[in-house]
A and B are shown apart, each in its own frame.
Chain A
């Protein structure tokens, strides 16, 4: 390869790198899910094909305080978007958790039975509640993107 051609290729490569969109993890929260969407009631859904991993947002756990109990549903249960499918307990209060999408529960995070504090430590990572096979992927359309959700949280606080 000639030196001029090499130089041209290097310039093209440098321009490509400069033009590449940058992904930055927001400063709030410990672990941000790459494609998470959020509800106005502070649940998240991370989608991988037809499977949605669902839990409460990092903002929600900070509002609740120390979580002492997560009432886990059963594998095989049907959940319906907008309806309560479980609850978490903190400081004498049980708080309902609402389904961001409808579907069938495929997996439950059993580790929360003995370690509910995982939700406080890593709500959007290890603190997930259930994995669901979605029955209607279009229900994702009206969930909030990360930036929209952050704006809502800032507005609330």
Chain B
């Protein structure tokens, strides 16, 4: 990985601890609990970059409550304000009928549906480490889009285009081989020479990533949801990117009355886009690993990165009495009683 200076004026890069939760078995709820603990109770007051995918329902650290549910494939997560008025954002009847779990998180924003394919990224910035980022929502989002995600998606696009070209070449080689064999067979029978195939490769047009009215988009479609919590001396910015999702799960969300202008009247199917449809590299696991690799590369360029193991990060939670005590006590992530 190339290491570029944080700025042309040789300013030190922010020191950031990198935590990779891929394959950790941590659930989405546990991830939220860990994030809040690291923001508000890290005795070392570190800045963090955290990536991973998470099981929507089954916990590794918290006890698993018994739910009579027919849909365990997803979890509904609501912002601090939205969680107070779930009927304004959810089809409550459908949610209850299917026994889908809903939780309130500590950050702002509306309601989202996550599953095990959702790609999570979180940045925790201490103001002292990030003097160039005003601790306000718009500044934080502009920073993340410009300094991190533009690079991530530019690399994802390059990977996908390269993958498409390679796939086309292989396909054409197979076609050429087949045609050559057939032509050879035909020539043997007819005495003629085979002609070359001059068909050109098709390049896929991929819309670019952008920050639009506080949303991350690919073209005109939203590709993930982000939210912030701002505390004294620090901020947390987390995003859930939609790699793939079940349309049926999105039907738990109603059309919000407050929505960005660019959305218009579009329902979730027309408004959202799956990253998989644009950036798939063959198999999903490789593609998701590629995404997180590019996030880490972007982080490596922007920060002085130190990798931290989960067990070391969990010491912060252990000092709060453990995950269960933290979740049941001061942690603001709570299961909603609909």
Q: Which residues of A contact B (CB under 8 A)?
A: 41, 63-65, 68-69, 71, 84, 87, 89-96, 98
CA distance A134 to B72 in the complex (A): 48
Kindly provide the distance from the CB of A155 to the nearest chain B CB, expressed in whole angstroms.
15
Taking CB atoms, residues of chain B closer than 8 Å to A41 are: 232
Q: List 9 A–B pairs whose Cβ atoms lie within 8 Å, in order of A's numbering.
A: A64-B136, A87-B229, A90-B137, A92-B108, A92-B109, A93-B137, A94-B228, A95-B231, A98-B232
Taking CB atoms, residues of chain B closer than 8 Å to A65 are: 137-138
Q: Decide: B107 and A69 in contact? CB cutoff 8 A.
A: no
Taking CB atoms, residues of chain B closer than 8 Å to A69 are: 80-81, 84, 108
**Best-buried of B137, B226, B227 by chain A (most CB within 10 Å):** B137
Taking CB atoms, residues of chain B closer than 8 Å to A92 are: 79, 107-109, 137, 141, 214, 226-228
Q: Known interface pairs A92-B79, A92-B108, A92-B226. Does A84 touch B231 (Cβ–Cβ under 8 Å)?
A: yes
Interface residues of B in 128-162 (CB under 8 A from A): 136-138, 140-141
Q: How many residues of B contact A (CB 8 A)?
A: 22
CA distance A69 to B258 in the complex (A): 13
Taking CB atoms, residues of chain A closer than 8 Å to B81 are: 68-69, 71, 89, 94
Interface flags, B223-240, vs A, CB<8A=1, else 0: 000111111100000000
Q: Does B279 contact A (CB under 8 A)?
A: no
Main secondary structure of the interface of A (DSSP, over half): strand
Q: Does B303 contact A (CB under 8 A)?
A: no
Q: Does B106 contact A (CB under 8 A)?
A: yes
Q: Decide: B232 and A93 in contact? CB cutoff 8 A.
A: no
Q: Decide: A87 and B137 in contact? CB cutoff 8 A.
A: no
Kindly provide the distance from the CB of B302 to the nearest chain A CB, expressed in whole angstroms.
21
Which of A63, A90, A93, A98 makes the CB contact (< 8 A) with B229?
A93
4 further A-B contacts with Cβ under 8 Å, apart from A91-B214, A92-B79, are: A69-B81, A71-B81, A71-B84, A87-B80
Q: Known interface pairs A69-B80, A69-B81. Does A93 touch B228 (Cβ–Cβ under 8 Å)?
A: yes
Kindly provide the distance from the CB of A22 to the nearest chain B CB, expressed in whole angstroms.
36
Smallest CB gap from B213: residue in A: A91
Smallest CB gap from A70: residue in B: B81
**Best-buried of B109, B140, B141 by chain A (most CB within 10 Å):** B109
